[in-house]
A = this chain, B = another copy of it.
């Protein structure tokens, strides 16, 4: 940890503290002005560390970075995460070029500079310097996130932490000195703990390589991408931010489509898609079965599915008959199945089990309005047990105040993705359906 600081709140303090909290390997603070930081012996330079060093985390002013990197090179350090800003992003391209030359000479793979670095929930390498009380860290899980913007990544990690979604690796790669989005994509494509890859991109210097790598990875695991700077004005903002060439919206859309990257239009969408990819099986087609205990929500869900190119077809006679046997006459046994306002968990059980067996239904959108008198938490058992056994995706929608939120959370914790917005639920089902179609087309 080069630039380790004894002063609370300083970047070199927050990062060291974070590393000490979870990382189980040896940690060597480096700072020429300190003998000890946070109870660890502090070294004057990397070369004075007595043991082998695998990776240097560098958080010193930009002008000192070349010297640190030379030192790392001599020491045989092969990886560096350079947090420090003050390079090409502020017009200081010469300094960045110098660091690049040093890294090349010593064969050092570099994340950064000008980045938040890395959060890995498995090794607990955590270089994010946002204070832990302000930014939560997510639990272990299957989603990895590559971000050209540190801030965007930080917000998403914070949110994932609060929602309890599992993350494998987050990588903020900043100015991409010698590792860029294409390298990271290839790496995560092979990473065993990564089931879904999310990307926030402002641009790429390697368009063709990106499409090639993404297409290859997409065939084995889904990539969810958001392209910032699609509008002309947004592209100008990109130039002021990371200096990337934003490229035209249409070119990016075509590239994503060609590579099977599922495009998200907002950050909440990125993570909604990712968590459903991580938790649910893929649908075999685009036919959705809808269950509700409120008719209006059934109508809105139908509209939202159809707007996304999903099909809401009439129930098969067999499925309708099976549900009909177990629900009262005044329930509407069509698609949507409206179990009506006095539905209890038995009716949900009847509808969901019949739909699971029906081969003409590829995914299930299950709406539960917890405001009604006859719904209780038994419905959570019913849905989560169905979801555990299901070979088709099930997502839920439950909206409202505290009581509904608590129950949504319980559904989530039981492994059933639960949305407060029908549109979000339908968009997400459409996204995983689209990806399944891409995969099929590649066979």
Near B by CB (< 8 A), chain A positions 27-81 give none
Q: Which of A90, A373, A422 has the most CB of B within 10 A?
A: A373
Q: Which of A129, A265, A267, A305 has the most CB of B within 10 A?
A: A267
**CB closest residue in chain B, given A151:** B294
Closest approach, in angstroms, between the C-beta of A284 and any C-beta of chain B? 20
Are B296 and A228 neighbours in the complex by a CB distance under 8 Å? Answer: yes
| Number of copies of chain A assembled together | 2
Question: Given A155-B400, A240-B338, A306-B233, is A296 in contact with B147 using a C-beta cutoff of 8 Å?
Answer: yes
Candidates B133, B151, B369; contact of A296 at CB < 8 Å = B151
Question: Given A151-B295, A421-B266, is A135 in contact with B306 using a C-beta cutoff of 8 Å?
Answer: no
Are A202 and B159 neighbours in the complex by a CB distance under 8 Å? Answer: no
Candidates B299, B370, B403; contact of A202 at CB < 8 Å = B299
What residues of B have a CB within 8 angstroms of the CB of A230 in the complex? 303
Shortest Cβ-Cβ A-B pairs, 8 listed: A151-B294, A149-B296, A162-B401, A241-B295, A158-B400, A231-B306, A152-B296, A234-B303
Are A155 and B369 neighbours in the complex by a CB distance under 8 Å? Answer: yes
Closest approach, in angstroms, between the C-beta of A51 and any C-beta of chain B? 32
Are A152 and B294 neighbours in the complex by a CB distance under 8 Å? Answer: yes
What residues of B have a CB within 8 angstroms of the CB of A371 in the complex? 130, 134-135, 151, 154-155, 158
Are A266 and B304 neighbours in the complex by a CB distance under 8 Å? Answer: yes
Closest approach, in angstroms, between the C-beta of A424 and any C-beta of chain B? 8
Closest approach, in angstroms, between the C-beta of A280 and any C-beta of chain B? 22
| Residue A420 at the chain B interface, CB threshold 8 Å | yes
**CB closest residue in chain B, given A86:** B330
Question: Given A158-B404, A162-B402, A267-B399, is A369 in contact with B302 using a C-beta cutoff of 8 Å?
Answer: no
Candidates B152, B268, B312; contact of A297 at CB < 8 Å = B152
Are A130 and B373 neighbours in the complex by a CB distance under 8 Å? Answer: yes
**CB closest residue in chain B, given A200:** B296
Per-position 1/0 for A393-418, Cβ under 8 A of B: 00000011111110000000000000
Are B234 and A302 neighbours in the complex by a CB distance under 8 Å? Answer: yes
Please, how many angstroms separate the alpha-carbon atoms of A148 and B295 in the complex?
10
Question: Given A230-B303, A405-B162, is A151 in contact with B267 using a C-beta cutoff of 8 Å?
Answer: no
| Residue A136 at the chain B interface, CB threshold 8 Å | yes
| Residue A9 at the chain B interface, CB threshold 8 Å | yes
Q: How many A residues, CB 8 Å from partner?
A: 79
Q: List 17 A-B contacts (CB under 8 A).
A: A14-B373, A134-B373, A151-B293, A151-B295, A154-B369, A228-B296, A229-B299, A231-B302, A233-B302, A234-B300, A236-B302, A236-B334, A237-B298, A238-B299, A241-B299, A241-B338, A242-B295
| Residue A341 at the chain B interface, CB threshold 8 Å | yes
What residues of B have a CB within 8 angstroms of the CB of A404 in the complex? 134, 155, 158
Please, how many angstroms separate the alpha-carbon atoms of A147 and B294 in the complex?
13
Are B296 and A401 neighbours in the complex by a CB distance under 8 Å? Answer: no
| Residue A150 at the chain B interface, CB threshold 8 Å | yes
Candidates B149, B265, B336, B422; contact of A267 at CB < 8 Å = B422
Q: Which of A233, A237, A306 has the most CB of B within 10 A?
A: A237
**CB closest residue in chain B, given A160:** B401
Are B266 and A422 neighbours in the complex by a CB distance under 8 Å? Answer: yes
Please, how many angstroms separate the alpha-carbon atoms of A102 and B150 in the complex?
68
Candidates B135, B296, B330; contact of A148 at CB < 8 Å = B296
Per-position 1/0 for A122-141, Cβ under 8 A of B: 00000001110111100000
| Residue A307 at the chain B interface, CB threshold 8 Å | yes
Near B by CB (< 8 A), chain A positions 228-271 give 228-234, 236-238, 240-242, 265-268
What residues of B have a CB within 8 angstroms of the CB of A307 in the complex? 231
